[in-house]
Structure 1
Amino acid sequence: MGFRTLRGDSLGVAISGASSAAFLLFGYDNGVFAGIINADSFRSQFGYPSSSMTGTIVAVYNLGCFLGCMIASQSGRKMGRRQTIIVSQWICVLGTILQCTAFTIPHIIVGTIPKWVSETCKANRRGALVAFQLAIVSGGILIAYWLDYGMLYATGQVVWRFPVAFQAIFSIATIGMVHFLPESPRLLYDKGLITEGDEVLCRLKDLPLEHPVLQKERAEIFAAIELEHNQPKMTLKKLLFEESELKLLRRVIIGVSCQCIQQLTGIAVVIGYLPYVAHNEIGLSENLAQIMGGIGAIIYLLASFPPMYFVERFGRRKCLMGGSAAMTLCWFLLIIFLAHGEKKNNKGLLYAGIVMMYIYQIAFAFSWLSVPWIYPPELTPLNVRHIGAATATSAEWLTAFLVQEVTPIAVTSIGCKYYIVFTCVCLVSIPIVYLYFPETSGKSLEEIDMIFSSGSLHHPGSLGSMDEIFISNKRDKEEEEEKPTVEKME
């Protein structure tokens, strides 16, 4: 039975498989250069690049993600999800060919930028689904680390060219599956292709069109499309300069802050440079440094699954604040261990520093890994969601570029003192989340609107106090409605 005849759960599994291949690519691309930037064959090929050039080679990936975010926000709706993903994956293949055949630094950088254009084209999921997809990303990082390690036993330029070329496997697998899978029914309905949309919806649910369950979902999709079309058009100029009772600009700023803080907590240093730091700062051999990175990737993957449960169970705020507190402690202890270990040539303290990096990865995976991708879309109403999501995601990629660009230079120049920056960011993020980030878990759009229209700049309460704001506003509204009736009776 081919992909085109799949229905119901089987079709859902096929779509999940295509999505997983794409997210594995995302993770693999995050980790692949971490293991090869120390390889002698890589460094000799490119003239033993300086720490600043090493940072650019690794960090330019994030500029590609930024461009992908901008392009996808414009092309995704016009081309459709399937076509956008197929085209972008072919761009990935082209970028991979340019990279694995590179003989100069400009060649490998130019190859990196276009191949990441597709990374932000995927639909933005929330809650447990986001946590699951990011766990798949962690799986891609794991594959990258251990493939890099295995290639250390080879000789010549295949040590780094093969891991780079291997990226194409994920792109080709995604293209092969997506090509035979249906377009989103919502997008088809939105374009006026009602018959095609009905056919896809029937396949997804494995139900006849007249079935009550399918009719209900169909009606909800049409209602959502109508609501979206009836929303007043929002431009960036209106968002910035027009005062709104719903505090739209404040919502976008909170979303942008959330994704910037995610990168400024230092995750890019641990994921992208753990073997580099272990080799160049702690003094481990290239082989052992790569093993340390691979162990970290296993820990990160395992820690990525529990958030599927408690990101909804405990709410966004508690996850973020708890994670920040744990990460602050990890960075603080890491600095102490590395500083004293280097000073006293104490290998035990240096290895303890690596353990702190592992614990940091667990704390990050439990908190700041998934929530910043869930939170911004939950904050913004439909008419500004495209601006809010694009702005927040773009800010995240630019911040990641800054961190990865600076890291090799900072590690070479000031060593572990560089990590004081991340310690301070993690610490300061706790009161920022407590004071300014409202809880959105389990909240409807109306409830979130009530929170922001209450007039309070701060949101220092728990989930309970957010409910109290909503209930209080609702009670005031009911009293206003009852007042004319009472006056009339008198």
Structure 2
Amino acid sequence: MIGNIYIITAIAVIGGGLFGFDISSMSAILGTQQYRCYFNQGPNGPPFNDEKCSGPKSDVQGGITASMPGGSFVGAICSGFLSDIFGRKTSIQIGCIVWCIGSIIVCASQNIGMLVVGRFINGLSVGICSAQVPVYVSELAPPSRRGRVVGAQQWAITWGILIMFYISYGCSYINGTAAFRIPWGLQMIPAIILYIGLMFLPESPRWLAKKDRWEDCHGVLTLVHGKGDPNAPFVMRELNEIKQMVEFERQNADVSFFELFRPRMLNRLHIGVFTQIWSQLTGMNVMMYYITYVFGMAGLSGDTNLIASSIQYVINVGMTIFALIYIDRWGRRLPLIIGALLMATWMYANAALMAVHGSPAPPGGVDNVAEESWQIQGPAARAVIACTYLFVASFAPTWGPVSWIYPPELFPLRVRGKAVAITTSSNWIFNFALSYFVPPAFVNIQWKVYIIFGVFCTTMAIHVFFMFPETSGKTLEEVEEMFLNHIPAWKTRVEFQKIRRAEGGAVDDKEAAVKYDESPVRTEIAGEAKAN
């Protein structure tokens, strides 16, 4: 059994790569002539050298793209129940099987209906994996590295986007339907690797504790945190905290789905849900899915458009590395606030450039793509491209990873699986809505789309400042106590150095742990448990 947290993470976050594969397999393919002709709804169909194929209508293309996040919404909701029954690891493996089934259908698609069904099934898998991989990794990781390893999910997404984009770009030179069937078929490979790799990983110690498998729980903590020493100070502290929290939860809580909507839990549910909603309303996934449309408005076409689009994927991968290295020192609040303000700046800049220097596209759009109903040329077009790159560079180290790191840290063990399923499902339902909304929006309101997302980014910065508390540097049990004590969000701080010392098992940190156990909040919990 593998005990190194970084190897565990490297295998588990392949589940995030599945989402990345889906994003770029669609964004790179929907602009190709082979795709447009095969799924064409205009007057010109095959053969594939017909340059006038316009592809699916804008609302139909929105439906094709949105079918995946629609399935992800359903998958994320179901994942909480799967995870609580079968465990975090097994539920992710179920997602791998579902992904392979969906990929087979997508690869073999004979018409738009079959393509939509296959993408919906793929979405079920993405919903399961995207909800439960962060839970699984966060429950295994030590607090000082939790942000880094959970944030690796976002890095895996960026790698999935980049790899599949270049695979799809290379296959675009193939004549006929193989140009899109090959990339869609290759999507199965990471799911197979993930399924096999999970066989060598431990189960979540907190899920094992919830099932009263205490020896297994202790064994996993020893493997991952104790370097083989079952009596290591940090292992014993983690085990004791898990025992106290499980005992408290059983004596003081009616564990059910509806507990999430009770006053004690409703605030953190609202925070987790809005973390995922706001990550969609930044407009980032819109940029990913429809970047070829955006750059088409800026006058790029053919290979130039695809290559320019791929640069943002490289930026996405590179900038996410900063979050993996520093996110536990930066915390959660600061990256969310700064990232939102920067993204708002680039959105407003793009709107201004399009409004002042742009003009309506000729009938039929640019290069016969109706969605490109606005055009901009010259230096202003290059400025739009630059702002788009800067937007991606602002999202990648901030909202990208933090939106996956933050929700699993907010909830107690008894409801964590279901809670993260709900927060992740809110991500996917908004992803679904935006995927469907954007192509018609580019046709109907053109550059004003950027203003809408700029306003969202401004609003989320204010919301985070007043409502989102800091969770970095705290054990998952300490986060629970922070909420019980009703500490205002803007008064919470990063406690990275304290938890690093505690993990090292130094003498002064043992004393700190004793003081922690005697803290007012800990005493309050113990008192409530005894009273009951």
TM-score tier, shorter chain, comes to 0.7 to 0.9
Is contact 1:152–1:287 with CA below 8 Å preserved after alignment?
Answer: no
**Closer, same or farther: CA 152–215 of 1 in aligned 2, 3 Å:** same
In structure 2, C-alpha distance between the alignment counterparts of 1:50 and 1:289, rounded to whole Å: 21
Q: How far is the alpha carbon of 1:206 from its aligned partner?
A: 5.5
Matches within 5 A, 1:293-442: 293-343=309-359, 346-442=377-473
1:122 partnered with 2:129: no
Q: Which residue of 1 aligns with 2:285?
A: 268
- Higher mean alpha-carbon deviation, 165-174 vs 208-217, is at 208-217
Deviations 1:207-226 (A, max 9, x none): 26677776665555544543
In structure 2, C-alpha distance between the alignment counterparts of 1:14 and 1:314, rounded to whole Å: 24
Given residue 132 of structure 2, which amino acid in structure 1 is its aligned partner? C
In structure 1, C-alpha distance between the alignment counterparts of 2:236 and 2:336, rounded to whole Å: 39
Given residue 112 of structure 1, which amino acid in structure 2 is its aligned partner? R
**Closer, same or farther: CA 208–441 of 1 in aligned 2, 3 Å:** closer
**Closer, same or farther: CA 117–101 of 1 in aligned 2, 3 Å:** same
Q: How far is the alpha carbon of 1:37 from its aligned partner?
A: 0.8
**Closer, same or farther: CA 80–254 of 1 in aligned 2, 3 Å:** closer
1:253 partnered with 2:270: yes
1:172 partnered with 2:179: no
Given residue 420 of structure 1, which amino acid in structure 2 is its aligned partner? I
In structure 2, C-alpha distance between the alignment counterparts of 1:157 and 1:52, rounded to whole Å: 23
SS in 2 for 1:54: helix
Q: Which residue of 2 aligns with 1:156?
A: 176
In structure 2, C-alpha distance between the alignment counterparts of 1:180 and 1:446, rounded to whole Å: 31
Q: Which residue of 1 aligns with 2:86?
A: 79
Q: How far is the alpha carbon of 1:128 from its aligned partner?
A: 1.9
Is contact 1:131–1:305 with CA below 8 Å preserved after alignment?
Answer: no
SS in 1 for 2:173: coil
Is contact 1:100–1:162 with CA below 8 Å preserved after alignment?
Answer: yes
Is contact 1:340–1:349 with CA below 8 Å preserved after alignment?
Answer: no
Q: Which runs of 5+ in 2 are unaligned?
A: 41-54, 139-145, 360-374, 495-518, 524-532
In structure 1, C-alpha distance between the alignment counterparts of 2:293 and 2:79, rounded to whole Å: 33
Q: Which residue of 1 aligns with 2:156?
A: 136
In structure 1, C-alpha distance between the alignment counterparts of 2:229 and 2:470, rounded to whole Å: 40
Q: Which residue of 1 aligns with 2:295?
A: 278
Is contact 1:231–1:382 with CA below 8 Å preserved after alignment?
Answer: no
Q: Which residue of 2 aligns with 1:483?
A: none
Given residue 304 of structure 1, which amino acid in structure 2 is its aligned partner? T
Given residue 29 of structure 1, which amino acid in structure 2 is its aligned partner? D
Is contact 2:286–2:435 with CA below 8 Å preserved after alignment?
Answer: yes
| Percent identical residues | 29
1:449 partnered with 2:483: yes
Deviations 1:342-391 (A, max 9, x none): 33953321122111111001111122112222333333444554454233
Q: Which residue of 2 aligns with 1:487?
A: none
Q: TM-score, normalised by structure 1?
A: 0.83
Q: 1:25 aligns with which of 6, 12, 18?
A: 18
Is contact 1:131–1:307 with CA below 8 Å preserved after alignment?
Answer: yes
**Closer, same or farther: CA 185–309 of 1 in aligned 2, 3 Å:** closer
Matches within 5 A, 1:224-243: 224-235=245-256, 237=258, 240=261
1:43 partnered with 2:74: no
- Higher mean alpha-carbon deviation, 182-191 vs 265-274, is at 182-191
In structure 2, C-alpha distance between the alignment counterparts of 1:430 and 1:63, rounded to whole Å: 27
Deviations 1:176-223 (A, max 9, x none): 222344444544454355666566566555626677776665555544
**Closer, same or farther: CA 25–210 of 1 in aligned 2, 3 Å:** same
Q: How far is the alpha carbon of 1:268 from its aligned partner?
A: 1.4
**Closer, same or farther: CA 269–284 of 1 in aligned 2, 3 Å:** same
In structure 1, C-alpha distance between the alignment counterparts of 2:3 and 2:437, rounded to whole Å: 48
**Closer, same or farther: CA 179–475 of 1 in aligned 2, 3 Å:** closer
In structure 2, C-alpha distance between the alignment counterparts of 1:421 and 1:111, rounded to whole Å: 31
Deviations 1:401-434 (A, max 9, x none): 1111101111122221211100111122222222
Is contact 1:263–1:396 with CA below 8 Å preserved after alignment?
Answer: yes
Given residue 449 of structure 1, which amino acid in structure 2 is its aligned partner? F
Deviations 1:109-134 (A, max 9, x none): 11111223233332423422222221
In structure 1, C-alpha distance between the alignment counterparts of 2:522 and 2:246, rounded to whole Å: 29
Given residue 331 of structure 1, which amino acid in structure 2 is its aligned partner? M
Q: How far is the alpha carbon of 1:60 from its aligned partner?
A: 1.5
In structure 2, C-alpha distance between the alignment counterparts of 1:448 and 1:208, rounded to whole Å: 30
**Closer, same or farther: CA 348–316 of 1 in aligned 2, 3 Å:** same
Given residue 421 of structure 1, which amino acid in structure 2 is its aligned partner? I
SS in 2 for 1:305: helix
Given residue 30 of structure 1, which amino acid in structure 2 is its aligned partner? I
In structure 2, C-alpha distance between the alignment counterparts of 1:223 and 1:451, rounded to whole Å: 17
**Closer, same or farther: CA 168–446 of 1 in aligned 2, 3 Å:** closer
SS in 2 for 1:366: coil
Is contact 2:68–2:123 with CA below 8 Å preserved after alignment?
Answer: yes
Is contact 1:233–1:383 with CA below 8 Å preserved after alignment?
Answer: no
SS in 1 for 2:175: coil
1:289 partnered with 2:296: no
Deviations 1:79-111 (A, max 9, x none): 223332222211111100000100111101111
**Closer, same or farther: CA 77–166 of 1 in aligned 2, 3 Å:** same
In structure 2, C-alpha distance between the alignment counterparts of 1:61 and 1:165, rounded to whole Å: 16
Q: Which runs of 5+ in 1 are unaligned?
A: 1-5, 465-473, 479-490
CA RMSD between the two structures: 3.1
Q: How far is the alpha carbon of 1:8 from its aligned partner?
A: 4.5
Q: 2:72 aligns with which of 55, 65, 87?
A: 65
Is contact 2:333–2:465 with CA below 8 Å preserved after alignment?
Answer: yes
Given residue 435 of structure 2, which amino acid in structure 1 is its aligned partner? Q
In structure 2, C-alpha distance between the alignment counterparts of 1:319 and 1:208, rounded to whole Å: 36
